[in-house]
Amino acid sequence: MVLAAVDIGNSIERAFEVFFAWLPALVGALVILVIGYIVARVVGKIVGRVLQRAGLDRALLSGQVGTFVQKVTSSPSKLVGTLAFWFILLGTISLAVSVLGSNALTNFVAAVYAYLPNVLAALLIFLVASVISAGIATLVTR
């Protein structure tokens, strides 16, 4: 009975040692996430505002193509700003996960990054199909 209590005490002591050794990495990852989130928000808003002032919304929403673009988004500049936000935030998450040093989390983030080209290809196919259909619609109406 005494031996079991000593083993439990040693296990609890070891758990605290491992936890407190891992705590600085956890705090570092949280700091990286908070700073990265703030930077991503600021950059996303700046990109959206710059593109809106440059006339991206006006250019993409006018004409025959504009009706197809409006089906996707009412503000293309905000959409690009949101994409910039997520791009930076995903990079931040990757950095924070690498600071933690967890193989399972690193593999998960790698799997998400491996899937992103499929999402971008689907978005590109949708945009190209919209432009082609707008061109065909213009030819048919003439």
pTM of the model: 0.71
Q: Which residue would you say has higher pLDDT here, 19 or 98?
A: 98
Report how many domains make up the chain.
Answer: 1
Please say whether the beta carbons of 45 and 19 come within 8 A: no
Give the residue-averaged pLDDT of 91-120: 87
pLDDT of res. 6: 64
Count of CB atoms within 10 A of residue 106's CB? 14
Range of the structural domain that residue 108 is part of: 2-141
Res 92: pLDDT? 94
Residue range 62-103, pLDDT digits in tens: 877 777 777 777 888 898 899 999 999 999 998 999 888 888
Q: How many residues in total does the chain contain?
A: 142
